[in-house]
Amino acid sequence: EAGVAQSPRYKIIEKRQSVAFWCNPISGHATLYWYQQILGQGPKLLIQFQNNGVVDDSQLPKDRFSAERLKGVDSTLKIQPAKLEDSAVYLCASSHSGGGGRETQYFGPGTRLLVL
């Protein structure tokens, strides 16, 4: 079974530029998550999709971050404009149904973003 795919793996941009990340979850997984992991910290949930609907985006900085999952499969996360403090690893994860409980999340390899 193919895992969660993410691209690009690395990205270096200057502040105030825009950047987009792509994620393709495990086939058949209804729930998709985007996390931000700053060095030395645990992952912080940015947004959670159930199929193509947003379940939770309470921690997404909506003035600069946006995400979509139009067809309920792959997803993009965009930052516009980027700030220095956005430097982090952006992890995408998916789970089968997202019903909480004992659902296992499977993570992609992440995109490492460096904002200069």
- Judged by the rule CB under 8 A, the positions of this chain that interact with other proteins are 33, 35, 40-45, 48, 55-56, 91, 98-102, 104-105, 107-110
Q: CB count, 10 Å around CB of 94? A: 26
Nearer to other proteins, 25 or 108 (CB): 108
Cβ 26 to other proteins shortest distance, Å: 13
For 84, the 3-state DSSP assignment is helix
Structure tokens at 52: 């193509």
- Which of left, alpha, beta for 23 (phi over 0: left; psi -120 to 50: alpha)? beta
Min dist. Cβ of residue 34 to other proteins (A)? 12
**Residue number, 10 or 16, with CB nearest to other proteins:** 10
**Six token digits for residue 87:** 């430097």
Q: How far is the CB of 16 from other proteins (least distance, A)?
A: 27
